[in-house]
């Protein structure tokens, strides 16, 4: 599925959903072959707390301190990060042996990080500039649904 078509479909999912975060996670997981695990973390105090997710296995990282790992670094910086090869990034908190690359996109309200989209791929260097731009648009849409 192309990113433009996916963006239009996600807008419809968000407009009609009573469980927006869950439905967006399911949509992303089911429609992008290179997304092997999709989750949304929400900021609570000084931690990221795992919300809805989809993938073959649960992660043991259900709470991540802000500043710890790639997810914690993104929550701290407020900047999207693409990690082409998690095996060479010492910040990576290993979840699955199959994961080769990761993208983490902050969800912000008035420049404050309130959550993030975390996506793993079983393919090295799986995420492109298109993924980044697409997921940042999704992040902007989701910011209206996090309180």
pLDDT for the residue 58: 86
Question: What are the C-alpha distances in Å from 3 to residues 9, 28, 35?
Answer: 10, 11, 13
Residue 53 has pLDDT above 90, yes or no: yes
pTM to 2 decimal places: 0.94
Q: Tokens standing for 121?
A: 């791929």
Domains belonging to the chain, first-starting first, are 3-143 (3.30.450.40)
pLDDT for the residue 74: 97
pLDDT for the residue 95: 72
pLDDT for the residue 138: 97
Quick: pLDDT tens for 82-113. Answer: 999 988 877 767 776 778 999 999 999 999 99
Residue 70 has pLDDT above 90, yes or no: yes
Quick: pLDDT tens for 5-20. Answer: 999 999 999 988 889 9
């Amino acid at each position: 599925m192309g990113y433009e078509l996916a963006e239009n479909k996600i807008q419809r999912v968000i407009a009609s959903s009573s469980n927006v975060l869950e439905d967006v996670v399911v949509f992303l997981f089911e429609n992008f072959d290179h997304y092997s695990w999709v989750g949304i973390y929400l900021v609570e105090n000084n931690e990221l707390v795992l919300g809805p997710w989809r993938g073959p296995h649960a992660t043991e990282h259900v709470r991540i301190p802000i500043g710890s790992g790639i997810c914690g670094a993104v929550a701290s910086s407020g900047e999207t990060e693409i990690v082409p090869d998690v095996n060479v990034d010492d910040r990576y908190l290993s979840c699955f042996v199959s994961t080769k690359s990761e993208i983490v996109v902050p969800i912000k309200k008035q420049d404050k990080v309130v959550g993030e989209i975390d996506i793993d791929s079983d393919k090295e260097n799986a995420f492109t500039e298109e993924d980044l731009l697409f997921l940042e648009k999704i992040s902007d849409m989701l910011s209206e649904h996090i309180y």
